[in-house]
């Protein structure tokens, strides 16, 4: 199966990698929904509406910032794994486009080009008001809750929360890439969160073949031409090793 999927990739002109939290799991970054996760997936331990929604932020902004800063320090201490490295090399060598739901910076640190972050970036803060102010932050030493220097509204992580829209430019770019690709390589996502997960069906309906890499079946299994069950860090490099 890996060999046949690798041949499909080798023949493809346009490849999009659509990734989720499982891509970074072997780097030590917890997933959200994952019955195989040894230390428990995040949404089995924490309430997403408390920690990842505008309502949760309004109710207890200190708790939300503290939780994101814990995740930021975890990401700062992590390193890209062989799956990030393989996707980054393919982006540099053959123009693979990375469409990711991940808010971490591990694809960037692996040297990837063409990274579209559908759910924003945890490496920036943005104003929770309407002024549009952004600040890059140090993941290892993230700032506490503070007001926006421009308008005084609270600063918050530059990620998409439940109930919020995806960044329009990222979504437009992702749809364009998924409508034109020959192969969509789906890595480490439960494919449970929309609209992002809808890109898999969208790519298939535009003629793309679908290769899935996951440690277990997912919501997208029925769409797969090849479903490769196993860790991304072991399987993804093999797909590009020809």
Please, which residue, 129 or 230, has the CB nearer to ligand OAD?
A: 230
Give the separation between CA 175 and CA 196, rounded to whole angstroms. Answer: 10
Of 193-222, binders to ligand OAD (CB under 6 A) are 193, 213-216, 218
Cβ 13 to ligand OAD shortest distance, Å: 26
Strands (E), the chain: 15-19, 97-100, 115-117, 120-127, 134-136, 155-159, 183-187, 209-214, 226-229
Site mask for ligand OAD (CB under 6 A), range 57-96, x = bound: ----------------------------------------
Active site residue 119: yes
Q: Does 190 bind ligand OAD (CB under 6 A)?
A: yes
Alpha-carbon dihedral sign for residues 173, 176, 182, 188: positive
Give the nearest distance from C-beta 185 to ligand OAD in angstroms. Answer: 12
- Inter-residue contact 93 to 40 (CB < 8 Å): no
| 239 lines the binding site for ligand OAD (CB under 6 A) | no
Binding residues for ligand OAD, total number by CB under 6 A: 30
User: Applying CB under 6 A, does 51 fall inside the site for ligand OAD?
Assistant: no
Catalytic one among 84, 108, 114, 119? 119
Binding of residue 192 to ligand OAD (CB under 6 A): yes
Cβ atoms of 64 and 56 closer than 8 Å: yes
Report the run of H or E that residue 22 belongs to, with start and end.
helix 22-25
User: Nearest CA to 56 among 156, 193, 166?
Assistant: 156
* 109 is a site residue for ligand OAD (CB under 6 A): no
Asked whether 30 and 41 are in contact (CB, 8 A), the reply is yes
Q: Strand (E) positions, 58-197?
A: 97-100, 115-117, 120-127, 134-136, 155-159, 183-187
Residue 24 binding ligand OAD, by CB under 6 A? no
Nearer to ligand OAD, 85 or 214 (CB): 214
Q: How many residues does the chain have?
A: 242
| Nearer residue to ligand OAD within complex by CB, 138 or 164 | 164
Residue with tokens 């990375």: 98
Q: Is 98 in the site for ligand OAD (CB under 6 A)?
A: no
Residues that bind ligand OAD (CB under 6 A): 20-22, 25-26, 31-34, 36, 41, 48, 52, 101, 103, 119, 159-160, 188-190, 192-193, 213-216, 218, 231-232
Q: Which positions are catalytic? A: 119
């Amino acid at each position: 199966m890996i060999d046949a999927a690798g041949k499909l990739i080798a023949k493809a002109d346009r490849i999009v990698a659509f990734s989720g939290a499982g891509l970074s799991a072997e780097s030590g970054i917890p997933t959200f929904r994952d019955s195989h996760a040894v230390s428990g997936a995040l949404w089995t331990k924490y309430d997403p509406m408390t920690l990842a929604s505008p309502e949760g932020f309004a109710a207890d902004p200190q708790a939300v910032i503290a939780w994101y800063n814990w995740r930021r320090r975890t990401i700062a201490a992590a390193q890209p794994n062989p799956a990030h490295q393989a996707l980054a090399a393919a982006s540099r060598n053959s123009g693979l486009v990375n469409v990711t739901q991940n808010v971490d910076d591990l694809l960037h640190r692996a040297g990837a080009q063409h990274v579209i972050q559908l759910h924003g970036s945890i490496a920036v803060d943005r104003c929770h008001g309407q002024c549009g102010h952004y600040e890059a932050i140090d993941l290892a030493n993230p700032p506490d809750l503070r007001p926006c220097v421009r308008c005084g509204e609270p600063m918050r992580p530059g990620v998409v929360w439940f109930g919020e829209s995806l960044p329009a430019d990222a979504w437009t770019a992702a749809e364009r890439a998924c409508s034109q690709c020959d192969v969509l390589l789906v890595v480490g996502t439960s494919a449970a969160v929309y609209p992002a997960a809808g890109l898999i069906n969208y790519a298939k309906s535009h003629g793309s073949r679908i290769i899935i890499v996951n440690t277990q079946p997912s919501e997208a299994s029925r769409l797969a031409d090849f479903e490769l069950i196993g860790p991304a860090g072991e399987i993804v490099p093999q797909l590009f090793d020809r």
